[in-house]
């Protein structure tokens, strides 16, 4: 069955417990891994996210899957909370849902993305 992007996004978000900017620092203090999936050009334009690991789209699943021989050391296992962020919180929802399909049940995303965090942190 094929879905349009809006339905695919809605289905992904139904599975997520999305976090907002205020909750992000607490999750990081508890050991959550923050992963920035924005392309280099967006990061150069918008700025960087403190404490975030940058993982390119073409290797994200391999770097975070606990069973992958190519996983990064920061990926501690299937119980770890992983928060994905993009620019506005759309691509990150799809990415987090994909990570849940790999068994990373605590994968989620930052609602509103980097732009929401930036607006919140500059208040």
Q: Please state the rounded mean pLDDT for residues 50-78.
A: 94
CATH number for the segment(s) 5-121 = 3.40.250.10
Q: What's the alpha-carbon Rg for the chain, to the nearest Å?
A: 14
Give the dihedral of Cα atoms 74, 106, 101, 14; nearest 10 deg.
Answer: -140
pLDDT for 37 beyond 90: yes
Residue 101 C-alpha from the chain's centroid? 14
Q: Where are the chain's structural domains? A: 5-121
Residue 71, both tokens: 């996983």
The whole-angstrom separation of Cα 87 and Cα 65 is: 23
Q: 19 forms bridges with which residues in the sheet? A: 110
> pLDDT tens digit string along 108-122?
999 999 999 999 999
Question: How confident is the prediction for the chain on average, in pLDDT?
Answer: 95
pLDDT of residue 123: 87
Residues 63, 65, 68, 72, CA torsion sign: positive
> pLDDT tens digit string along 78-108?
999 999 999 999 999 999 999 999 999 999 9
pLDDT for 1 beyond 90: no
The whole-angstrom separation of Cα 78 and Cα 116 is: 27
């Amino acid at each position: 069955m094929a879905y349009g992007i809006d339905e695919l996004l809605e289905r992904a978000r139904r599975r997520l417990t999305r976090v907002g900017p205020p909750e992000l620092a607490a999750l990081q203090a508890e050991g959550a891994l923050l992963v920035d999936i924005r392309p280099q050009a967006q990061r150069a334009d918008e700025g960087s996210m403190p404490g975030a690991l940058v993982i390119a789209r073409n290797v994200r699943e391999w770097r975070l899957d606990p069973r992958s021989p190519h996983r990064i050391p920061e990926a501690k296992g299937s119980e770890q909370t992983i928060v994905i962020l993009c620019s506005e919180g759309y691509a990150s929802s799809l990415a987090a849902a994909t990570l849940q399909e790999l068994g990373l049940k605590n994968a989620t995303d930052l609602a509103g993305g980097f732009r929401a965090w930036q607006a919140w942190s500059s208040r």
